[in-house]
Amino acid sequence: MKRSYTLLLILWACIITSAKAQTWTALGSGIQGLVSSMVVYNGNLYVGGEFTMAGSVTVANIAEWNGTTWLPLGTGITGTNSEVFSLAVYNNELYAGGEFTQAGGASVNNIAKWNGSSWSDVNGGVTSQYGEVTAMAAYNNRLIVAGNFNLADTAPVQNIAAWDGTNWASLDTTSLWTPTGMVNCMYVWNGALYCGGNGFASAPDSPGVSIASWNDTVWKILQDSLINKASEVGAFTSYDGNLYVGGLFYGTGATDSLVYQIAERTGSGWQGVGYCRDSAWAGSLGTFSLASYSGSLFAGGYFGAVNGAVDTNLSVYNGTTWVNPHAPQTTLPAAYYAMCEWNGSLYLAGIFEMQLSGAYDAENIVQYNSGTNGIREIASGHKLRLYPNPTNGRLIVENLIPGTQLTVYDLLGQTVIRMATTNNKEIVDVSRLSPGMYFVNGAKFIKE
Give me the DSSP letters along 201-269. Answer: EEETTEEEEEEEEE-SS-EEE---SSS-TT-EEEEEEEETTEEEEEEEE--SS--S-EEEEEEEEETTE
Q: For residues 125-140, give the mean pLDDT.
A: 93
Closest listed residue to residue 437, CA positions, set 418, 406, 416? 416
Per-residue confidence (pLDDT) for residue 317, from 0 to 100 = 87
User: What's the pLDDT at 124?
Assistant: 96
Q: What CA–CA distances, in Å, run from 31 to 37, 51, 77, 114, 379?
A: 13, 7, 15, 21, 32
Return the percentage of the chain with pLDDT > 90, whole number: 43
Does the CA dihedral 186-189-194-197 come out positive or negative? negative
Q: What are the tens digits of pLDDT across the range 312-345?
A: 688 888 887 887 787 888 876 678 999 999 988 9
222 neighbors 266 (Cβ within 8 angstroms): no
User: Looking at residue 311, what is its pLDDT?
Assistant: 59
Between the alpha carbon of residue 391 and those of residues 56, 100, 431, the distances in Å are 59, 63, 9
What's the half-sphere exposure (Cβ side, CA atoms, 13 Å) at 441? 25
Q: How confident is the model at residue 380 (pLDDT cuts 50, 70, 90)?
A: very low
Q: Write down the pLDDT at residue 12.
A: 40
Distance CA 260, CA 244 (A): 12
pLDDT: is 392 or 406 the higher one?
A: 392
Phi-psi region of 256 (alpha: psi -120 to 50; beta: other; left: phi over 0): alpha
Looking at per-residue confidence, does 134 or 231 come out higher? Answer: 134
Q: What is the pLDDT of residue 97?
A: 98
Mean pLDDT taken over the chain:
82
Q: Is pLDDT of 117 > 90?
A: yes
State whether residue 4 is helix, strand or coil.
Answer: helix
Mean pLDDT score, 390-398: 88
Q: pLDDT value at position 382? A: 47
Give the model's pLDDT for residue 17.
39
Q: Given this model, what pLDDT does residue 149 score?
A: 92
CA distance 248 to 232: 5
Pick the most confident of 42-51, 168-177, 298-307. Answer: 42-51
Question: For 414-430, what is the mean pLDDT?
Answer: 80
pLDDT at 291 over 50: yes
Q: What is the pLDDT of residue 8?
A: 39
Alpha-carbon distances, residue 77 vs 35, 64, 124, 298, 441 (angstroms): 14, 13, 16, 30, 47
- State pTM to two decimals: 0.79
* 413 pLDDT higher than 80: no
Burial (CB count <10 Å: 0-12, 13-18, 19+), residue 2 = exposed
Cα radius of gyration (the chain): 23
Contact 337, 34 (CB under 8 A): yes
Contact call for residues 363 and 353 (beta carbons, < 8 A): yes
Q: Characterize the bridge pairing of strands 345-355 and 335-342.
A: antiparallel
Q: Give the integer Cα–Cα distance in Å for 74 and 193.
A: 32
159-187: b (≥16 Cβ within 10 Å) or e? bbbbbeeeebeebbeeebbbeebbbbbbb
**384: pLDDT confidence band, cut at 50, 70 and 90?**
confident
Most confident of 46-55, 194-203, 351-360, 420-429: 46-55
| Rounded Cα gap, residues 382 and 376, in angstroms | 17
In what helix (H) or strand (E) does residue 19 lie, and over which residues does it extend? Answer: helix 2-19
Q: Is the preceding omega at residue 390 within 30 degrees of 0, hence cis?
A: yes
Q: What is the pLDDT of residues 87-109, one digit of tens each?
A: 999 999 999 999 999 999 999 99
Whether residue 255 is predicted with pLDDT greater than 80 in this model: the reply is no
CB 25 within 8 A of CB 365: no
pLDDT of residue 434: 87
CATH of 2-8+380-447, one of 2.60.40, 1.20.1050, 3.60.21, 3.40.50: 2.60.40
Query: Which residues lie below 8 Å from residue 387, measured CB to CB, with a gap of 6+?
Result: 395, 396, 398
Tell me the per-residue pLDDT of 8-38, one tens digit each, with 9 for 90 and over: 343 444 444 344 457 899 999 999 999 999 9
The pLDDT > 70 percentage for the chain reads 80
User: In the chain, which segments carry CATH 2.60.40?
Assistant: 2-8+380-447
Convert the pLDDT of each residue in 133-161 to its tens digit.
999 999 999 999 999 999 999 999 888 99
Q: Which of 26-35, 39-48, 170-179, 292-301 has the lowest mean pLDDT?
A: 170-179
- Characterize 264-300 residue by residue with b for buried, 16 or more Cβ atoms within 10 angstroms of its Cβ, and e for exposed: bbeeeebebbbbbeeeebeebbbbbbbbbbbbbbbbb
Residue 111 in this model has a pLDDT that exceeds 90: yes
Fold classification of 22-369 (topology level):
Methylamine Dehydrogenase; Chain H (2.130.10)
Predicted local distance difference test score (pLDDT) of residue 205 = 62
Would you state the pLDDT for residue 312?
67
Sign of the C-alpha dihedral computed for residues 306, 311, 316 and 320 taken in this order: negative
Where in the chain is CATH 2.130.10.10? 22-369
Vertex 209, ends 141 and 109: CA angle to 5°?
A: 50
Q: How long is the chain? A: 448
Task: State the pairing for strand pair 206-214/219-221.
Answer: antiparallel
